[in-house]
Structure 1
Amino acid sequence: MEELQKVGLFIDDIYRLRVEDPSIANEKSELRQECLEYSKNLQLFKKLAADFYKISETFAKDVDKEKLRAIGTQNQLKTISKQRQGEQQVYQSQIYEQTVELERLKSEHQYLQRIETEQLEIINNFLVNQ
């Protein structure tokens, strides 16, 4: 057997004549199996990475949609706030106008009461003097 090995021939476990050392052939076979396993794992990793990318893209689109919706809602709230301030100013000016009108009417009422009192005195004096 050693003579065969010197010439580069080997006999394996099932007594077949080989050109390479059976231990190297076994290591090659194991390496091939490990490479296949590594290739399968790499393909699985690629698939998982692609799935993760798709999910993250979908999530990013959803986040962008929600962000735009939130900005729109925020703008609507600002617009409503400005409208409320405008309405408040209108109401305050109306209150002021009504207050001024009330004061004017009170003054006019007092003036008319004085006139009424004076006229009643004149009438009473006229009736008393007759």
Structure 2
Amino acid sequence: MAAGDFSFQPQYGKLVSYDKERFNAIPLGEGAHLKALLTAFLPGQFIPLHTPGVDLALLVLRGRGWLVVEEREIELAPGSVALVPKGTRRGIRATTKMVLFQVVAPPPKEADHAEVQRKLTKGVF
């Protein structure tokens, strides 16, 4: 998004879709300094533990799960908010159908996703 551009979604629920194989990241908008997305999980799906070079803000819109930050396990429920700084080891696992609103800054690079992709291929949290 350039200066003056904006993104608006009147009802996020219409955008949510689930993938049987893995979590589904649904882009909402991206600019030079941030990326916003919805992330939809089926029970048991996860974003593997990884240590990206991006800050993360998340809000649980529906469902329940767990956020792992370094050695801490934090229960997630509707309305939960978390802010995780870049360089912090983190992962997310759903216990029910779960939808998150996430903002990452700056937008992640390929290197930020390499560990996630490798672990998803192996089915490792």
Higher helix share: 1
Q: Same fold (TM over 0.5)?
A: no
Q: TM-score, normalised by structure 2?
A: 0.15
* More contact order relative to length (CA 8 Å, sep ≥ 6): 2
Q: TM-score, normalised by structure 1?
A: 0.15
Higher strand share: 2
